[in-house]
A and B are shown apart, each in its own frame.
Chain A
């Protein structure tokens, strides 16, 4: 093979080939066992629950209980997005500084659930924990998105102002108006993500929908659990109807009144947590540097190393299956294939898979299939694959094929796939970091990725280990992000990723 492929498609094919190889290796290393003895029977029971959901009454929750969970879910999400957007906006004003970009990247590399686990130690199971667990990583995400929007906005209006030194006036008159519409749309999209995140925080004990959902499914009350999931669906899918700009202050005020963001601990608790609990045990006990070395080596050998390896294996396998699923599913919603009925079906399927958080999917699949990497891989691939299929399918609406173009498989392989490849690859690489981030967190469900060791260390009150393990997830996410960015630049996909990715599809 020559150094530079002579066709543009061959360059993409080569990169895809390497990703395929990595994915196949990951599948070879992954533990794919179905450990439940009769998965079919369990699937049937879960399916029956989903077909006949229960909300209230004897088999469901008390109305007040359901109402409280719903209100908490909304309150945490609203406050999380509000504080996150405010913090992110302030950071975005200094986006040209390297330190700000690094800080934003680090806070968003830690998953909401990990933030929740840490904050819980200081502020307890309080609204403050729920709000900050969303607001902190979201501030990092908002900083990046707003910062890039400001960078890419047309500089002409600001440059044409008369020379003056009022930078704040320039900002408000000549720069913010240019990004206002995009920023508002993005914030609305983030609220949808925050509703999911808020529900998931229930899995670590916060009183949101996820808390009751987990309890219901663990006790085999599938009909009740399904009802709770449908409530979350309704909340997210109806967002367009109730989220009005004029009502946002009302919602926010209600959220603050319902769940004032206050914690249970005090400053002394925080000080003790930071200066004692988070300090490596050998140092806190003055056992000297040699003991620290032993501690670090033990932690690497027993937890960080295996956790990283499992996270990488699961993540790469999920990336491959995501790509395969997205390629199979996107024709279902593309006007270039099928008929009205198949497209309607495709839309429906993709909406359900996109709306269900991958964490919930993994939880359901764990119940059906039993613990192994298989539920995690399937859950990540179904959710992310549906997102990429949706965006790729939407992009295919813009393709203009000639009148005599082939149909069916020939059309797919010769006309559509080559043209969509750059956007598809950009989306996939863009989503890679998010897959890794979610892979780590699936450990909380019992799959042996980094999150498993993080969750165990919290249960053992060994927060020094928690900190090291969370830093390991940060490093992994930053490394994958950097590699993906390098690959996108090398394949000249940078523009594609930005156009399709960042607005509607950030971490």
Chain B
């Protein structure tokens, strides 16, 4: 058994005075891929934010409100994932005129995401699905070992969603991803966590679960 990367022991999680999790017990080991399921408001985003707090330097972050810079191009929004890898001068120069090497690198990633022809279009002129792929692109370009995603493929069709999820998991050794798509959770992830009103009500290997088990989570 490898070491625990994230660990909560009776943790209280919330925003300010509002408590979301009263006492959370959870650990996630290096190498695990975890799907996070639960109805809206069950605490998925809160848990992801808490995970990120524990290991900021290791995590590539793909939040739900994509928080892209709408007036900048797809290229620049993806490149922003790698700001920490480059010197400040290089980053400033890239804002005005990207170097050929960066162009090729980010361009190849954008092509995988189906955004090749939109590379230098600004995000405010993209569809919702294209913007979401850009946000995922930024997380991928961050190139950190842990992927934390909050419904990163929710606006994409089934096939594209599956393909991009597999692509994202292939380049991260650990992942915790919140989603609503139960089939996607069972198809791509090793472990499934189910949340309900701030409680962890399900924690099982994906192989041991069926779609019917997961439906329970969404029953009122």
Contacts and interface: CB of A to CB of B under 8 A. Distances in A.
A80 to B, nearest CB: 42
Interface string B92-107: 1001000000000000
A410 interface: yes
A404 interface: yes
A9 B83 contact: no
A414 B63 contact: no
Contacts, number: 66
Contact of A402 (B67, B73, B83): B67
Interface in B65-111: 65, 67, 69-73, 76, 80, 83-84, 88, 91-92, 95
B69 A419 contact: yes
A408 to B, nearest CB: 8
B124 interface: yes
Interface string A409-444: 110011100110110000000000000000000000
A470 B61 CA distance: 60
Contact of B69 (A404, A408, A414): A414
B138 to A, nearest CB: 10
A7 B69 contact: no
B30 to A, nearest CB: 20
B5 interface: no
Nearest to A419: B69
A414 B73 CA distance: 11
B49 interface: yes
Contact of B120 (A6, A405, A422): A6
A387 B63 CA distance: 36
Interface in B50-67: 52, 56, 59, 61, 63, 65, 67
A48 to B, nearest CB: 40
A153 interface: no
Contacts of A12: 71
B121 interface: yes
A234 interface: no
Contact of A414 (B61, B72, B120, B125): B72
Nearest to B96: A13
Interface string A268-292: 0000000000000000000000000
A7 B63 contact: no
Given A6-B120, A409-B88, A414-B95, A421 B71 contact: yes
A413 B71 CA distance: 13
Interface in A432-483: none
B122 interface: yes
A241 interface: no
A422 B122 CA distance: 15
A403 B49 contact: yes
Contacts of A400: 67
A422 B124 CA distance: 14
A418 B72 contact: yes
A401 interface: yes
A406 interface: yes
Contacts of A7: 71-73, 120-122
A244 B170 CA distance: 67
Contacts of A414: 69, 72, 76, 80, 83, 91, 95
A35 interface: no
Nearest to A422: B71
A339 interface: no
A410 B49 contact: no
Interface in A144-173: none
Contacts of B49: 403
A415 B88 contact: no
A406 B83 contact: yes
Interface residues of A, number: 23
A404 B122 contact: no
A9 B96 CA distance: 10
Given A6-B121, A7-B120, A404 B71 contact: no
Nearest to B48: A403
Contacts of A408: 88
B71 A410 contact: no
- The interface size bin for chain B is 20 to 34
Contacts of A403: 49, 52, 61, 63
A8 B70 contact: yes
Given A6-B120, A406-B83, A406-B84, A413 B91 contact: yes
A14 to B, nearest CB: 12
A410 B91 contact: yes
A387 B26 CA distance: 52
Contacts of A418: 69, 71-72
Contact of A8 (B63, B83, B92, B122): B122
Contacts of A409: 88, 91-92
Contacts of A8: 70-71, 122, 124-125
Given A403-B61, A410-B88, A419 B80 contact: no
Contacts of A406: 80, 83-84
A402 B63 contact: yes
B61 A402 contact: yes
B140 to A, nearest CB: 14
Nearest to B124: A8
Interface in B96-150: 120-122, 124-125
Contact of B122 (A9, A401, A413, A419): A9
Nearest to A415: B69
A404 B95 contact: no
Interface in B16-71: 49, 52, 56, 59, 61, 63, 65, 67, 69-71
A6 B122 contact: yes
A417 to B, nearest CB: 9
B64 to A, nearest CB: 10
Contacts of A413: 91-92, 95
A448 B59 CA distance: 61
Nearest to B53: A403
Given A418-B69, A419-B71, A421-B71, A404 B52 contact: yes
Interface of B: 49, 52, 56, 59, 61, 63, 65, 67, 69-73, 76, 80, 83-84, 88, 91-92, 95, 120-122, 124-125
Given A9-B122, A403-B49, 8 more contacts: A6-B121, A7-B71, A8-B125, A402-B61, A404-B56, A408-B88, A414-B83, A421-B71
12 contacts: A6-B121, A7-B73, A9-B73, A12-B71, A400-B67, A402-B65, A404-B61, A406-B84, A409-B88, A413-B92, A413-B95, A414-B69
Interface of A: 6-10, 12, 400-406, 408-410, 413-415, 418-419, 421-422
Q: What are the 3 A-B residue pairs with the smallest beta carbon separation, nearest first?
A: A7-B122, A402-B67, A8-B71
